[in-house]
Amino acid sequence: MTLRRILEAIIFFLIILAPNCLIAGFYSGGEISYHCRGGNLFDIELKVYWDCNINSSSNPLPQTTELRFYFLSSNNQATAVGNNGSISLQFSEIGEIVDTIMREGQCDFVPKFACKKYGIYKGSVILPFSFEGYYLVSDFERRTPLGSIVNTITNIEVITPNDGPVLTAEIHSRALIACESSAELRDIEQLYFCINEPINIDASVLKSEFDSIVYKFYHPFYNTWPAPPLNKVRFSDGFRLTNLMGGPDPLVIDRHTGKISGTPVNQGIFLIGISIHQYNGNQLSGVLNREFFMYVGDCGHLNADFGVDDFYCEPPRLEVAFIDITVNFLSSIWILGDLENPISTFSNDRPVINFPHFGEFLLTRIVYGPNPSCNDTISKVVDIRKDEVGAFTEVEWGECTKDSIEFTIRGGTSTIPLSELDFELGVYFGSNSYYVQDSIFTFKIPNRYSIIPNIIIHSAEWCAPYYFQHVQTGFIFNSEYEAAYFLCEGSLALDDHYDDRNNNHNFDWDPRDGILNNEWDIQNPTVSPDTSTTYIGTASLENCSGEFTYHIEVFKPGTPFLPDTICGRQYQVTYNPFNGFARNYVWRYYQNGIRVGSRIDTFPLISMPNFGNAIIELEPFGFDGINCPDTIVQEVYFFEPSVDWDIELDVLECSDSISLIISGISNGTFIGREEYILISPYTDTLVSSRPEFQINTPLLETIEFTLLLTTDRGCIIEESFALPTPYLPDLYSIDSIGVCQGDTLFLSFEMEEGMQIEWLSEAEFIGDPNEFPLAFLPDSSQLLIMGIEFLGCEYQYEFDITVFGPGELELGEILICDDDLNQHLDFFNILAKGPEKWTIRDENGVSIASGDSGVAEVEFPDFSEYELWLYYPSDEYICGLLGLSSVTLTESGQWNVEISVLEEDCIGQRVNLHLFKQLIHNHEKDWDFQSRWVVINGDTMIFAGDSLRVTLDGLSEIEILLEVNDQFGCKTIANQLFQYQFIEAEPPMDSLSICRGEEVELWPGAPAELEYVWSPAFGLIGGITEPSPLAAPPDNTKYRVEISGGDCSNQFFVNLVVHPLPEFNEISANPSIISPGEESFLLLNPGDNVKEIIWFPPEFLDNPHVFNPVASPRQTTLYTAYLISEKECVDSIQVEVEVIDFSCAHPFVFLPSAFSPNGDGQNDVLYIRGQTILNSELIIYDRMGRQVFNADGVNHGWDGTAHGKEVPAGVYAFTLFVECENGDYLRSNGNVSLIR
Measured CA angle at 735 (ends 732, 737), to 5 deg: 165
pLDDT-derived band of residue 56, with 50, 70 and 90 as boundaries?
A: very low
Q: In sequence order, what DSSP letters do the residues of 1050-1118 get, joined into one string?
A: EEEEEEEEEEPPP-EEEEEEESSEE-TT--EEEEEEE-TTEEEEEEES-TTBS-TTSSS-EE--SS-EE
Q: In sequence order, what DSSP letters do the residues of 1116-1176 get, joined into one string?
A: -EEEEEEEEETT--EEEEEEEEEE----SSTTTEE--SEE--SSSSSS-SB--EESSEEEE
Do domains 391-472 and 1064-1139 share one topology? The answer is yes
The pLDDT of residue 22 is: 32
The C-alpha atoms of residue 668 and residue 1069 are separated, in whole angstroms, by: 126
Distances 848 to 206, 808, 840, 851 between C-alpha atoms, Å: 134, 22, 6, 11
Amino acid identity at 893: G
Closest-CA residue to 88 (of 64, 61, 63, 119):
64
The pLDDT of residue 552 is: 94
pLDDT-derived band of residue 634, with 50, 70 and 90 as boundaries?
A: very high
The CATH number that domain 481-554 falls under is 2.60.40.10
Name residues whose C-beta falls within 8 Å of residue 984's C-beta, 6 or more positions apart in sequence. Answer: none
CB of 491 within 8 A of CB of 456? no
Q: Provide the percentage of residues in the chain whose pLDDT is more than 90.
A: 38
The pLDDT of residue 1184 is: 79
The pLDDT of residue 23 is: 32
pLDDT digit string (tens) for 1081-1138?
999 888 888 889 999 999 899 999 998 999 999 889 999 999 999 888 988 899 999 8
Once rounded to an integer, what is the mean pLDDT over residues 1140-1158?
A: 84
Q: How many CB atoms lie within 10 A of CB 817?
A: 15
The alpha carbon of 5 is separated from its chain's Cα centroid by a whole number of angstroms, namely: 40
The pLDDT of residue 289 is: 96
The pLDDT of residue 19 is: 34
pLDDT(1199) > 70? yes
CATH superfamily of 729-804: Immunoglobulins (2.60.40.10)
pLDDT digit string (tens) for 1026-1048?
888 999 898 999 999 888 877 78
Three-state SS sequence of 753-781: CCCEEEECCCCCEECCCCCCCEEECCCCC
**3-class DSSP state of 927:** coil
pLDDT digit string (tens) for 120-135?
999 999 999 999 999 9
Q: Please, how many CA atoms are within 13 Å of residue 970, restricted to the half-sphere of its CB? A: 18
Once rounded to an integer, what is the mean pLDDT over residues 1012-1037?
A: 88
pLDDT digit string (tens) for 483-541?
999 999 999 999 999 999 999 899 999 999 999 999 999 999 999 999 999 999 999 98
The pLDDT of residue 938 is: 65
pLDDT-derived band of residue 943, with 50, 70 and 90 as boundaries?
A: confident
Name the CATH topology of 807-890. Immunoglobulin-like (2.60.40)
pLDDT(984) > 60? yes
Once rounded to an integer, what is the mean pLDDT over residues 756-768?
A: 86
Name the CATH topology of 991-1059. Immunoglobulin-like (2.60.40)
pLDDT(1157) > 80? yes
| CATH C-level class of 895-979 | mainly beta
pLDDT-derived band of residue 145, with 50, 70 and 90 as boundaries?
A: very low
What is the architecture, at CATH level 2, of domain 319-384?
Sandwich (2.60)
pLDDT digit string (tens) for 550-574?
999 999 988 999 988 888 888 899 9
Name the CATH topology of 644-724. Immunoglobulin-like (2.60.40)
Indicate the length of the chain as a whole number. Answer: 1236
pLDDT digit string (tens) for 21-40?
333 346 789 999 999 999 89
Looking at the DSSP bridge assignments, the partners of residue 624 are none
Query: CATH classification of 391-472, choosing from 2.60.40.10, 2.40.50.140, 3.20.20.70, 3.40.640.10?
Result: 2.60.40.10
Once rounded to an integer, what is the mean pLDDT over residues 324-330?
A: 78
Q: How many CB atoms lie within 10 A of CB 118?
A: 22
Closest-CA residue to 670 (of 699, 703, 708):
708
pLDDT(979) > 90? no
The percent helix, strand, coil of the chain (3-state, each to 5) is 5, 50, 45
Once rounded to an integer, what is the mean pLDDT over residues 1173-1195?
A: 87
Once rounded to an integer, what is the mean pLDDT over residues 158-170?
A: 76
- In this structure, of 526-530, 842-846, 1198-1202, the range with the lowest mean pLDDT score is 842-846
What global pTM score does this model have?
A: 0.41
pLDDT digit string (tens) for 649-679?
888 888 888 888 888 887 777 777 888 899 9
Domain ranges, ordered by start, for the chain:
3-297, 319-384, 391-472, 481-554, 565-639, 644-724, 729-804, 807-890, 895-979, 991-1059, 1064-1139, 1149-1234
Selected residue with higher pLDDT from 20 and 1236: 1236
pLDDT(4) > 70? no
In the chain, how long is the greatest CA-to-CA distance?
A: 179
pLDDT(985) > 80? no
pLDDT-derived band of residue 364, with 50, 70 and 90 as boundaries?
A: very high
Q: What mean pLDDT is reported for the chain?
A: 86
pLDDT(772) > 50? yes
Selected residue with higher pLDDT from 1132 and 906: 1132
**3-class DSSP state of 297:** strand
pLDDT digit string (tens) for 275-300?
999 999 889 999 999 999 998 988 87
pLDDT digit string (tens) for 87-102?
999 999 998 887 877 6
pLDDT-derived band of residue 14, with 50, 70 and 90 as boundaries?
A: very low
The pLDDT of residue 76 is: 93
The pLDDT of residue 3 is: 39
Highest mean pLDDT among 339-348, 825-834, 1001-1010: 339-348
Once rounded to an integer, what is the mean pLDDT over residues 796-804?
A: 87
CB of 1074 within 8 A of CB of 1137? yes
Looking at the DSSP bridge assignments, the partners of residue 786 are 759, 797
Amino acid identity at 707: L
What is the architecture, at CATH level 2, of domain 565-639?
Sandwich (2.60)
The CATH number that domain 1064-1139 falls under is 2.60.40.10
